[in-house]
Amino acid sequence: MKLFDVYPVNDITITKAQGSTVWDDQGNPYLDLYGGHAVISIGHTHPHYVQRLTDQLNKVGFYSNSIHIPLQQQLAEKLGKVSGKEDYQLFLVNSGAEANENALKLASFYNGKKKIIAFKKAFHGRTSLAVAATDNPKIVAPVNETDNVVFLPWEDLAALEAAFDKYEVSSVIIEGIQGVGGINVASAAFLQKIRSLCDQHNAVFIADSVQCGYGRSGKFFSHDHAGVDADIYTMAKGMGNGFPIGGIIIAPKFRPSYGMLGTTFGGNHLACAAALAVLEVIEKENLIANAENVGNYLMDELRKFPEVKEVRGKGLMIGIELPEELAHVRKELLFKYRIFTGEAKPNVIRLLPSLALTKDQADQFLTAFKQALKPVHA
Ligand X SMILES: Cc1ncc(COP(=O)(O)O)c(C=O)c1O
Give contact residues for ligand X (rule: CB under 6 A). Answer: 95-97, 100, 123-125, 175, 179-180, 208, 210-211, 236
Least distance from ligand X to the Cβ atom of residue 242, Å? 12
Q: Please identify, using beta-carbon distances, which residue of 283 and 343 lies nearer to ligand X.
A: 343
Q: Which ranges of the chain does DSSP label H, i.e. alpha helix?
A: 35-38, 47-59, 70-83, 96-111, 128-132, 157-166, 188-200, 269-284, 287-302, 329-335, 359-373
Q: Please identify, using beta-carbon distances, which residue of 179 and 295 lies nearer to ligand X.
A: 179
| Closest C-alpha to 167, from 175, 156, 159, 155 | 159
Least distance from ligand X to the Cβ atom of residue 54, Å? 24
Q: Please identify, using beta-carbon distances, which residue of 180 and 250 lies nearer to ligand X.
A: 180
Vertex 89: Cα angle to 83 and 90 (nearest 5): 80
Least distance from ligand X to the Cβ atom of residue 97, Å? 3
Question: DSSP labels for 74-118?
Answer: HHHHHHHHHHS-TTSEEEEESSHHHHHHHHHHHHHHHH---EEEE
Q: How far apart are CA 99 and CA 104, in angstroms?
A: 9
Question: DSSP labels for 174-221?
Answer: EESEETTTT-EEPPHHHHHHHHHHHHHTT-EEEEE-TTTTTTTTSSSS
Least distance from ligand X to the Cβ atom of residue 39, Å? 9
Q: Please identify, using beta-carbon distances, which residue of 211 and 354 lies nearer to ligand X.
A: 211
Report whether 358 contacts 291 (CB < 8 A).
Answer: no
Least distance from ligand X to the Cβ atom of residue 62, Å? 20
Least distance from ligand X to the Cβ atom of residue 154, Å? 14
Question: Quick count: other Cβ atoms within 10 Å of Cβ 356?
Answer: 23
H or E segment at 252? none
Q: Please identify, using beta-carbon distances, which residue of 245 and 291 lies nearer to ligand X.
A: 245
Report whether 233 contacts 26 (CB < 8 A).
Answer: no
Q: Which residue is nearest to ligand X (CB)?
A: 96
| Closest C-alpha to 72, from 84, 82, 63, 83 | 63
Q: Please identify, using beta-carbon distances, which residue of 56 and 222 lies nearer to ligand X.
A: 222
31 CB-near residues (< 8 Å, 6+ apart): 20, 21, 338, 339, 340, 361, 364, 365
Vertex 175: Cα angle to 8 and 354 (nearest 5): 60
Question: How buried is residue 80: exposed, middle or buried, by Cβ count under 10 Å (0-12/13-18/19+)?
Answer: middle
Least distance from ligand X to the Cβ atom of residue 306, Å? 31
Q: Please identify, using beta-carbon distances, which residue of 185 and 368 lies nearer to ligand X.
A: 185
Q: Please identify, using beta-carbon distances, which residue of 20 and 100 lies nearer to ligand X.
A: 100
Least distance from ligand X to the Cβ atom of residue 255, Å? 26
Least distance from ligand X to the Cβ atom of residue 367, Å? 29
Q: Please identify, using beta-carbon distances, which residue of 247 and 295 lies nearer to ligand X.
A: 247
